[in-house]
Amino acid sequence: MTEDVLVTISGKHLIGGESEDVELLVPGTYRRTDDGIHEIVYEEPTEEESFGTKNTLRIDDSSMRIEKRGVCTAELCFLNSAERTLCNYRTPYGTFLIGISTSDFRVTVTENCITAELIYAMDVGDAFLKDCEMKVEVRAREGMPDEI
């Protein structure tokens, strides 16, 4: 895959019986590390341009990790197991301890595309927060327009 990629993240958050759909389409960069991890870096847009968040995705066959640096800072870990992971999610309003339990995790890798599909639940302390679905698709940008 080329270094310049297009990152599509789509998902669904189920909160109190209501569904909230999320979609993000941004340019990014890709590299494969020496130990075989797919590393994708992209900027998460915000309404105020001076407060963007840089995200680094690290995907392998058994996990996906999201490192967020900016207005919000966190290292989220989605494992291909029933194991619950914990992370500190720092925001301008305080720090929250978030638990993530991944119930389904699949990765597909082709010559020009990496797809990770997840089903997971989140909690803050012992209080259930969300049931979530997420699909991350990383495609080579060759032949795509520069502006998205």
Stronger pLDDT, 45 or 145, i.e. the higher one: 45
State phi, psi for 35 to the nearest 5 degrees: -95, 15
Q: What is the mean pLDDT of residues 48-74?
A: 87
pLDDT of residue 68: 94
- Please provide the DSSP assignment of 41-61 as one string: EEEEP-SSGGG-EEEEEEE-S
Other Cβ atoms less than 10 A from the Cβ of 64: the count is 23
pLDDT band at 1 (very low <50, low <70, confident <90, very high): low
Q: Give, in degrees to the nearest 5, the angle at Cα 34 between 26 and 29.
A: 15
pLDDT band at 145 (very low <50, low <70, confident <90, very high): very low
Q: Determine the pLDDT at residue 113.
A: 92
Is the per-residue pLDDT at 50 higher than 70? Answer: no
* Residue 40 pLDDT: 97
Span 11-38, average pLDDT: 88
| Residue 47: pLDDT band with limits 50, 70, 90 | low
* pLDDT reported for residue 146: 46
